[in-house]
Amino acid sequence: MSTGRRGLLAGGNFIVDRIKTIDAYPAQDTLASILSESISNGGGPYNVLRDLAAMSADYPLEAAGMVGSDADGDWVTEDCKRRGIDTHQLHRHPEAPTSYTDVMSVAGSGRRTFFHRRGANALLDLEHFDFGTTQARIFHFGYLMLLDRFDEIADGVCKASLLLARAREAGMQTSVDFVSAPHPAFSEIARSTLPQVDHLLLNEIEAGMILKTTLDAAHHDSLAKAASDLLDWGVHRSVVIHFEGGAVAATRDEGSLFQASLNLPPGYSQGATGAGDAFAAGYLHGVHEQMDLDMRLKLAMCTAAACLSHASPSGGMRDIANCRELAARYGWRAQ
């Protein structure tokens, strides 16, 4: 752990989510009813910062990204400031709009579909990050495959790897998340980037895209092997693959571990939007606080469960003690 450093800097996608809860997902050319709608934070870095703020993390939280000079950009900036998140590296583009996503979340199941406009996020680049102005212990970056400039590859080198290398040189541990979207160079971008990553956090779909295979979340052994394979691609400390039933982790110094998710009752989940980022927030808090792997995974499961209690990415998040209480209340799924 880097001595003298404290806090988390999260960079990449800052998005306004327009969440619409619908009765069912319609077939093409048919109709579904919108039951409710709301506006919230979106994008991995923004969600993680909002979650950590709601968890009452007692260390500095900093944002790095690009929003537009529009009403949505004002909303994001003021929302961060109101929650104690430093915004001096949250830039405003004079012309490009703030990125937004229409999230269609199905009532009951919580399954969601995303319609995304890249906006200002597509223009975020290396010059927008200054690692000399932060004392953060962790730099969390995402989403790869949804940041146009950082997904560029030249001479076999992905621009995201250059950014992460600078963060590591500045003394930070790096963590990365992907988005579950097809990309013609998904595996190549990952192969270039992973040697600059300390902690890789992703779901089974993204892991399969990197490894060019299909992973079944019901087969924990295959997920564990996939995590180990990704560690062999150059990740320095840990690879965690999370899925609905739990998570598997492979690490350099603590071995491998499976952790089941919470045994939540029917009707508990109000939507899965942001659950992966809530898992990341819990896991990264554990990294920051130097918890062992077992404690990190258990906390991550609790923060993901808290997220599921609300349709928005961070509306269900609560302080760490109350997140942990969910495990005492509901227990863990059978492995």
pLDDT value of position 209: 96
In this structure, is residue 314 part of a structural domain?
A: yes
In this structure, is residue 235 part of a structural domain?
A: yes
Query: To 10 degrees, the CA torsion angle through 222, 226, 229, 234?
Result: -160
What would you report as the CA-atom Rg of the chain, rounded to the nearest whole angstrom? Answer: 18
What average pLDDT does this structure show over 209-232? 95
Q: What is the pLDDT of residues 278-312, one digit of tens each?
A: 999 999 999 999 999 999 999 999 999 999 999 88
Q: Domain residues for 47?
A: 9-330
In this structure, is residue 335 part of a structural domain?
A: no
Q: What is the pLDDT of residues 59-78, one digit of tens each?
A: 999 999 999 999 999 999 99
pLDDT value of position 316: 96
Within 13 Å of residue 31, how many CA atoms lie on the same side as its CB? 3
In this structure, is residue 4 part of a structural domain?
A: no
pLDDT value of position 3: 61
Cis, peptide link before residue 283, omega less than 30° from 0: no
pTM of the full structure: 0.93
In this structure, is residue 291 part of a structural domain?
A: yes
- Check pLDDT > 90 for residue 112: no
Calculate the alpha carbon distances from 304 to 140, 176, 335 in Å: 17, 17, 18
The average confidence (pLDDT) of the chain is 95
What average pLDDT does this structure show over 78-92? 98
Task: Report which residue type is found at 171.
Answer: G
What average pLDDT does this structure show over 88-112? 92
Reported as a pLDDT band with limits 50, 70 and 90, residue 2 is very low
CATH assignment of the domain containing 187: 3.40.1190.20
In this structure, is residue 1 part of a structural domain?
A: no
Question: Taking the CB of residue 330, how many other CB atoms lie within 10 A of it?
Answer: 16
In this structure, is residue 116 part of a structural domain?
A: yes
In this structure, is residue 2 part of a structural domain?
A: no
Of the candidates 86, 93, 100, 88, which has an alpha carbon nearest to the alpha carbon of residue 16? 100
Task: Report which residue type is found at 8.
Answer: L
Which residues have C-beta within 8 Å of that of residue 34, sequence separation ≥ 6? 20, 21, 22
Distance CA 189, CA 164 (A): 13
Which residues have C-beta within 8 Å of that of residue 48, sequence separation ≥ 6? 8, 10, 140, 277, 280, 281, 284
Task: Report which residue type is found at 268.
Answer: Y
What average pLDDT does this structure show over 29-48? 95
Angle at 52 between CA 93 and CA 43, to 5 degrees: 40
Structural domains counted in the chain: 1
